[in-house]
Chain A
Amino acid sequence: MIAVKLIPHLLSWFGIVLILLRGFPKRRSVVIATSIAGFVIGVVGAFLLLRVLTGSVGFVIITSVLGMCFLFLWGVSVAAIYSRAGRGVTTGWGVRLVSTPLCAGSVTAISGIVAGAVCSCTLPAMDSTLMNLAMLGSISGALAYVLAYAALAVEKRISHSFTVSPSGMISAVVALQLFSSSSIIRLDLFSPLSMKVMKFAHDFVHQFMESMLIPDHVFVWSYLWRYIGLLFGKEIGFWGGMFIWFTPVLLVMCAVQYERLPSVAHIRQGAERRKLLAAAIRQRRLRLVVPFIALLIFTAAAYQSCYPNVEYWDPKPIVVTATSSGEIIIPMKSDIDLEDGKLHKFLFKQGGKEARFFVLLGPAAKLTVDLDACAICKPDGYGQADGTVICYYCKTLIPLETVGKPGGCNPVPITFTEKKDGVHIDALTLINEWTNTVQSTTKGKEGGK
């Protein structure tokens, strides 16, 4: 089971080593050594991190590191396209830097650590005894060793004309890392990215209209305003996320494709000149292969992130009623056990209005009651998966630790009292909260205000 889960991660790591070997052709031994060391450090380090730090902190750290790798790729791609587009921009120092052993070593080490850390996240719960650690270290070391030498053997067989530019190498490495991490739902970057983009688009349009003194919806044809309303939907988050996701690798491809051809003006025979140009064009085309593969991997990662291979725990809401004093009482133990750590959904109806909410025992052994809706998205509700709940509308993961705290896409918390016979909730508050929340979010989606 574990072995099957590990396969995509190990394959990604194999690919990473392969590409690094090709990217630093003069530093094979450095690449092999640091990548193995980095991988082992990553596996053991992340293992410790996830056990020492409670809750989701460890995952947040690893996700942030992945995010930084992605940002780094952004920087590299912009630099690549900028140095291509600008005349008189010298990147000689950059090229020299890339060919130093220090650069090869650090890039490889970081890639190894990240890959190892991601692998480590799939491991089952184990105690962090010295014994376990030593075993983990040696097993991962052996695996890394075998894979690295396999990559070396494969790399030696690939034709020498297949070169890769530094930016192409980085894009492929980052693509593989993100592909590897996208199969672990708590390390996923794409969904939070779309979420942030959605929020940014929302804020930006508001700010822009306000800054540019653009008339409010009262004065604008409503059909036009509907188009503006599109800027607030999930789609803009998705497409904006796609844009941010794919742009760097596309920029890298453009930078390669529009590389300046060598000057041939010193050659006084047309056929000779053309031969040189044709060779340069061929080289350029071959250098496009790796970024193109990276593009495909990015696509696969985005797909995996949008359609994760996870089953959500999403029970059908149980209809509840209020007592004559306007209280909803849910017993701790009946058909269901409120304190089993699972999401329990309820539906309350009163006078044509209804409210959906859930009760959940958090990891800190504290009960929380929340609306099955958040303050910013359409009320599509939540599902539960492995340490998190997910907002179905924007696909944001909310760690169980933070469920019960207000803000963002967190479920809106409801005040309640915990008594012997169960959880007591004020029916009117519940209905009001639900109505307010749903009204503001659905209106927000349509009216933009």
Chain B
Amino acid sequence: MKRLLRLSGNLLTSRFTSPVVIGFFLLLYIGVAFFTEEALITQMELVRQSAVLVALLSLLPLNIASRIVAEMLRYIERRRLFSGTAADNESELFDETIVLAVSPAITGLQERLDGLGYRTYQTERSLSAWRGVSIFPARVLFLSGVFCLFLGILVSLVTRTSYRGPVIEGVALPTPSGNGGVVEQIRLEKSTGSILSKQLSMEVAPARPGDARVSCGIYPPTRYQGSFVYPRFLGVALLVQFSAPDLQKGFEKHAILNIYPAGKEAAVEIPDSPYRLMISMAESGDGSDPYMTGRMNFTCKLLKGNEMLFAGNVPGGGEFVRDGFRLAFPDFRRMVITDFIRDYGVLFVWSAAILFGASFLFWLPVRLFFPLRQMLFIRHGTDMIRACSRTEGKEKMHGGVFNETLDMFDAGRVERKTNLG
């Protein structure tokens, strides 16, 4: 039992866990790709359905979280060492550690290091010198980003639910729970933004008294009753009335047509008959977007089997009559096919992106221009010092300074100022 605990503890904190798990999922992907074309989707489905794979995936955020804690502890320990308040097990915290049998009393060393751009701090037991800024914050930001990323993927894979429905003017918002407020207006406008070419807003009245009005846009997606509102396609909700000489009953139906932009066709099947309507939005003459202006004309083709009977233009609200056939669109409304997505993982992935960006912005200048370089000399008795050095960049120069400083301890040379010239 104890061993099991220790093993799982090691599994959680080891720095090998994450790469191995990621490698495993990569291999799994390759394996899946061998057998199916839809490898990514298949793999996501596999993970969703297998508790073992979910557990394995959840090892990633757990491992990263424990890495953050472990690295923070190391960092704190190192800081304490530098302020001269910590114990002696410093060797693995540094790149180089060495014990020298020399007198630690060196005057003038501090000024010399100051002159080289190092800041120094002396206690009776130790002398520490450092310059530059630690990249540790960037490291923590990065690890937190990785944590959020994998947590987001995990949450998204396991809990995401998605529901697609048409949002129609004057009709209640088709939320999964079914108690959405009425959509008062759908507006599509040209946008001047650099990425989005159009602006969409869906004004939703309060569902219950006391609720606020909501306006759902495109990006970032609005949240409505806990779901993200993710508009996918535009179209028209059209009341179609149709009668033909050989049909006893007229046909009437609210059709949801995915016919945006103008010219895109959608079919309406007339049940129990050989007839089929192909409907598309006609281009407006003046180049404006009929969906934006609301002045919609529809181009219709009537097909019987595979044969086209005739085609014509029907204005929204108008009708078309020929040879005993009648086609009318008494009601038409703007419509948006919308996904209602309940997925908190998205929030984590977004935060991960922000954290990665912040980490990079911190890391780059620090690493290039002022990486942390530190050294620490601790007195052991009267004739020993322990010297430690560590860098996060610009190793060469720092290594030289460190070694020269040790040489000076060795030769007791600093106080002798060659008084020439």
Are A and B close enough to touch in the complex, i.e. CB under 8 Å?
yes
Q: How far is the CB of A67 from chain B (nearest CB, A)?
A: 8
Alpha-carbon separation in the docked complex, A221 to B233 (Å):
15
Known: A71-B27, A214-B219. A207 touches B341 (CB 8 A): no
CB-contact partner of A218 in B37, B198, B349, under 8 A: B198
Does A268 sit at the interface, judged by CB under 8 A? Answer: yes
The size bracket of the interface on A is: 35 or more
Q: A207, B40: Cβ atoms under 8 Å?
A: yes
Does A270 sit at the interface, judged by CB under 8 A? Answer: yes
| Interface SS of A by simple majority | loop
Q: A88, B196: Cβ atoms under 8 Å?
A: no
Alpha-carbon separation in the docked complex, A357 to B178 (Å):
51
Q: A219, B218: Cβ atoms under 8 Å?
A: yes
Does A263 sit at the interface, judged by CB under 8 A? Answer: yes
Interface digits, B316-344 against A, CB 8 Å rule (1 contact, 0 not)? 00000000000000000000000001010
Q: B27, A265: Cβ atoms under 8 Å?
A: no
Does B383 sit at the interface, judged by CB under 8 A? Answer: no
Does A407 sit at the interface, judged by CB under 8 A? Answer: yes
Does A224 sit at the interface, judged by CB under 8 A? Answer: yes
Contacts of A89 in B (CB 8 A): 15
Contacts of A260 in B (CB 8 A): 95
CB-contact partner of B218 in A215, A265, A408, under 8 A: A215
Does A239 sit at the interface, judged by CB under 8 A? Answer: no
Contacts of A216 in B (CB 8 A): 231-233
Contacts of A408 in B (CB 8 A): 37
Q: Find the A residue at minimum CB distance from B387.
A: A265
Q: A218, B407: Cβ atoms under 8 Å?
A: no
Alpha-carbon separation in the docked complex, A408 to B39 (Å):
12
Does A211 sit at the interface, judged by CB under 8 A? Answer: yes
Q: Find the B residue at minimum CB distance from A407.
A: B37
Q: A219, B198: Cβ atoms under 8 Å?
A: yes
Q: A218, B230: Cβ atoms under 8 Å?
A: no
Stretch of A29-37, A123-131, A198-206, A296-304 with 4 or more beta carbons under 8 angstroms from chain B: A198-206
Q: A203, B196: Cβ atoms under 8 Å?
A: no
Does B92 sit at the interface, judged by CB under 8 A? Answer: yes
Does B234 sit at the interface, judged by CB under 8 A? Answer: yes
Q: How far is the CB of A387 from chain B (nearest CB, A)?
A: 20
Q: How far is the CB of B45 from chain A (nearest CB, A)?
A: 12
Q: Which of B14-43 contact A (CB under 8 A)?
A: 15, 19, 23, 27, 30, 33, 37-41
Contacts of B27 in A (CB 8 A): 71
Known: A71-B27, A82-B19. A218 touches B234 (CB 8 A): yes
Alpha-carbon separation in the docked complex, A274 to B96 (Å):
16
Contacts of B98 in A (CB 8 A): 263, 265-266
Q: B341, A213: Cβ atoms under 8 Å?
A: yes
CB-contact partner of A88 in B92, B220, B260, B404, under 8 A: B92
Contacts of B402 in A (CB 8 A): 265
Q: A273, B30: Cβ atoms under 8 Å?
A: no
Q: How far is the CB of A100 from chain B (nearest CB, A)?
A: 21
Q: A218, B260: Cβ atoms under 8 Å?
A: yes
Q: How far is the CB of A37 from chain B (nearest CB, A)?
A: 30
Instruction: Report the number of A-B residue pairs with Cβ-Cβ less than 8 Å.
Output: 93
Q: A200, B15: Cβ atoms under 8 Å?
A: no
Q: How far is the CB of A280 from chain B (nearest CB, A)?
A: 12
Q: B40, A75: Cβ atoms under 8 Å?
A: no
Q: How far is the CB of A218 from chain B (nearest CB, A)?
A: 6
Q: Find the B residue at minimum CB distance from A222.
A: B197
Does A264 sit at the interface, judged by CB under 8 A? Answer: yes
Known: A78-B23, A207-B41, A213-B230. A268 touches B196 (CB 8 A): no
Does A158 sit at the interface, judged by CB under 8 A? Answer: no
Which of A200, A203, A264 counts the most B-chain CB atoms under 10 A from its CB? Answer: A203
Interface digits, A173-212 against B, CB 8 Å rule (1 contact, 0 not)? 0000000000000000000000010011001100100011
Q: A264, B218: Cβ atoms under 8 Å?
A: no
Alpha-carbon separation in the docked complex, A216 to B235 (Å):
14
Does A351 sit at the interface, judged by CB under 8 A? Answer: no
Does A86 sit at the interface, judged by CB under 8 A? Answer: yes
Q: How far is the CB of B3 from chain A (nearest CB, A)?
A: 20
Q: B197, A86: Cβ atoms under 8 Å?
A: no
Q: A196, B410: Cβ atoms under 8 Å?
A: no
Interface digits, A286-300 against B, CB 8 Å rule (1 contact, 0 not)? 000000000000000
Q: B15, A215: Cβ atoms under 8 Å?
A: no
Alpha-carbon separation in the docked complex, A408 to B219 (Å):
34
Does B175 sit at the interface, judged by CB under 8 A? Answer: no
Alpha-carbon separation in the docked complex, A218 to B30 (Å):
34
Contacts of B350 in A (CB 8 A): 212
Interface digits, B76-111 against A, CB 8 Å rule (1 contact, 0 not)? 000000000000000010011010000000000000
Q: A87, B95: Cβ atoms under 8 Å?
A: yes
Q: Find the A residue at minimum CB distance from B22.
A: A78
Q: Which of A67-87 contact B (CB under 8 A)?
A: 71, 75, 78, 82, 86-87
Does A4 sit at the interface, judged by CB under 8 A? Answer: no
Q: Find the B residue at minimum CB distance from A428.
A: B306
Contacts of B346 in A (CB 8 A): 211-213
Does B261 sit at the interface, judged by CB under 8 A? Answer: yes
Alpha-carbon separation in the docked complex, A75 to B30 (Å):
14
Does A336 sit at the interface, judged by CB under 8 A? Answer: no
Alpha-carbon separation in the docked complex, A1 to B232 (Å):
61
CB-contact partner of A265 in B44, B92, B195, B403, under 8 A: B403
Contacts of B194 in A (CB 8 A): 221
Q: Which of A248-270 contact B (CB under 8 A)?
A: 260, 263-268, 270
Q: A212, B197: Cβ atoms under 8 Å?
A: no
Q: A203, B219: Cβ atoms under 8 Å?
A: no
Contacts of A213 in B (CB 8 A): 219-221, 228, 230, 341, 346
12 example contacts (A-B, Cβ-Cβ < 8 A) are as follows A78-B23, A203-B41, A212-B349, A213-B221, A216-B232, A218-B233, A219-B198, A221-B195, A221-B197, A263-B96, A265-B96, A267-B403
Other CB < 8 Å A-B pairs besides A212-B349, A218-B261, 18 of them?
A: A71-B27, A199-B37, A203-B39, A211-B346, A211-B349, A212-B346, A214-B219, A215-B196, A216-B233, A218-B234, A218-B260, A219-B200, A219-B231, A220-B197, A221-B195, A224-B195, A264-B399, A265-B387
